[in-house]
Structure 1
Amino acid sequence: MIIIPAVDIKNGKCVQLVQGEPGTEQVVIENPAEVAKQWEQKGAKKLHIVDLDGALGSGRNLSIVKEIIEKTKSPIQLGGGIRSVSDAKKLLEIGVNTVIIGTMAIKNPEIIKELSSEYGCERICVSLDSKNNKVVTHGWKESTDKTPIEYAKLFEKMGAGSILFTNVDVEGLLNGINLEPIKELLNNVSIPIIYSGGITSVDDLKVLSDIGVDFVVIGSALYKGLITLEDALKYQKID
């Protein structure tokens, strides 16, 4: 299991929102590129970047993404506001290692096949955000009629290299995780699962490691000091 610190960008700053809602910023730090560099210096082997302005349709932070790429050496996975194939290609070509595609993939699953064929499966991740066991899109504002498992199976067939599963029901609340949805995903697809949402303690990390989660994204718990990256990395297993 690989531990991945999150760097969420909004209005040019590194932030942490509650339940993804604008205006709920509980952590605001200047210079996201420096934050990313610090996580790398502390031992992170991979970085999770979210362009919240892109996700919310209020602009993009491409210049900051480029700065993060220039200042760090760790692989970067990036999501938020990737609304077209050209958006995805631009990010892949400036040095983002893996693009995380959500709403666009739900709207047109064939896009995943196209991008995977051109850039390789390992560079294409599909984001499945789950609320009440239904996948939600458009920054968690619209609900689909399908479960995460239904979509995960579809995108595995389409050539996605991994699935980012975020449990919106617990995300950002710091109340711990709900294991059952993750176990079900692990039992139904064979591509790597990246888990995000509600991680509060190292006990959560131990359980996720024990059930076979491949990657874990940690945000609020790191920024609020509930978990140190040093302690989190004790649960990191690199094959």
Structure 2
Amino acid sequence: MLEIIPVLDLMNSIAVSGKSGDRDTYTPLSTIFANNNDPMTITNNLKMNGAKQIYIADLDLIEKRGHSLDTVKMVNTILPVILDSGIRNLKSFDFYLDYANKLIVATETLESIEELYKMFDKYPKERIIVSLDIKNNELLTNNLDMNLNDFKKEMINLNPNEIIFLDISRVGTKTGFNKELLNEFSYFKDKLILGGGITGEEISELNNYGIKKALVGSSLHKGEININY
């Protein structure tokens, strides 16, 4: 059965929403789980509705213009947090471990593949989730000199427990997941957490693909997908 993992993007310690990763256009989140955009209220209601964990992206940290870490730590007392804090290297991974249950190491911000190996050498796989960030069908990265196929080879070698397969082009668009790219990464299907544009109509299809977990933001907050569908 597919586990729906709610997505919460934070800016200035409030929940926000946007499309396609264009963070300059994000606005306060409107959600069926609260009558405001307070992350604590939303998380409490998500838990009451069956959520087992929550994905949080601290957009201020990712953009290097502040942080919402106090809020993240409080949310983590309600639901285990999977945190994307813009980790670049082992040093930053060390620091953020105190704030969340699991840390995301995303291709967008990772300094080098060597730093990723250092994390896996030092910490148990249970604390690390690699995020394979994709935009316009290409690997989204600020620093890695590699393409999707190169990164796939590194993932086979590292063998992480979980890999987020995030098509940022589709975030907030409800246009459906990227089936073509998913097929290219079918080797990892037991490890994949799929994200980006997932609609309610596709839930049964994801089950057929063998996907066990999915990140859902817009469709969940609008009431179009239930946590316990």
Aligned counterparts of 2:156 and 2:135: Cα–Cα separation in 1 = 21
The CA deviation string for residues 23-80 of structure 1, in whole angstroms up to 9 with x for no partner, is 433543432122122211110112111111111221111111111122x1x4321113
RMSD: 2.3
Task: Using the TM superposition, give the Cα deviation of residue 159 of structure 1 relative to its aligned residue in structure 2, in angstroms.
Answer: 4.6
Q: 1:223 to 1:24 in 2, by over 3 A?
A: farther
- Correspondence for 1:198: 197
Q: Deviations over 1:107-151 (max 9, x none)?
A: 32222222223221121111111123211125xxx896502x431
Find out whether 1:90 has 2:89 as its counterpart: no
Q: How many Å apart are 1:82 and its aligned residue?
A: 1.6
| Partners of 1:95 and 1:24 in 2: CA distance | 27
- Counterparts in 2 of 1:21 and 1:132: CA distance versus 1, 3 Å: closer
Alignment of 1:141-180 (within 5 A): 145-147=146-148, 149-180=149-180
1:191 to partner: Cα distance: 5.8
TM-score by length of 2: 0.86
Q: CA deviation at 1:104?
A: 7.2
CA distance in 2, matches of 1:168, 1:118: 29
CA shift at 1:88, angstroms? 1.4
- TM-fit CA distance, 1:209: 1.3
- CA spacing shift, 1:218–1:100, aligned 2, 3 Å: same
Following TM superposition, by how much is the alpha carbon of 1:192 offset from its aligned partner in structure 2, in angstroms?
Answer: 0.6
Work out whether residues 19 and 26 of structure 2, in 8 Å CA contact, stay in contact via their aligned partners in 1: yes
Name the SS for the 1:227 alignment partner. coil
**Percent of aligned pairs with the same amino acid:** 28
Task: Classify 1:154/1:106 alpha carbon distance in 2 versus 1 (closer, same or farther; 3 Å).
Answer: farther
State the shift of 1:152 in Å.
3.0
Tell me the CA shift for residue 6 of structure 1. 0.7
Which position in structure 2 is the counterpart of 1:127?
Answer: 131
1:184 counterpart residue number: 184
Q: What is the CA distance between 1:105 and its match in structure 2? A: 7.0
Deviation of 1:97 (Å):
1.9
Paired position in structure 1 for 2:15: 14
Residue type at the aligned position of 1:134: E
SS at match of 1:107: coil
Residue 218 to residue 158, structure 1, CA distance change in 2 (3 Å): same
Distance 1:204 1:103 in 2: 26
After superposition, the Cα gap between the structure-2 partners of 1:208 and 1:54, relative to the gap in structure 1 and judged at 3 Å, is: same
Conserved? CA contact 1:125–1:163, under 8 Å? yes
Instruction: Give distance in 1, aligned partners of 2:167 and 2:139.
Output: 9
CA distance in 2, matches of 1:186, 1:77: 23
- The alignment status of 1:47 with 2:92, answered yes or no, reads no
What code does the residue aligned with 1:161 have? N
The SS at the match of 1:137 is coil
CA distance in 1, matches of 2:14, 2:145: 31
Give 1:56's aligned residue: 63
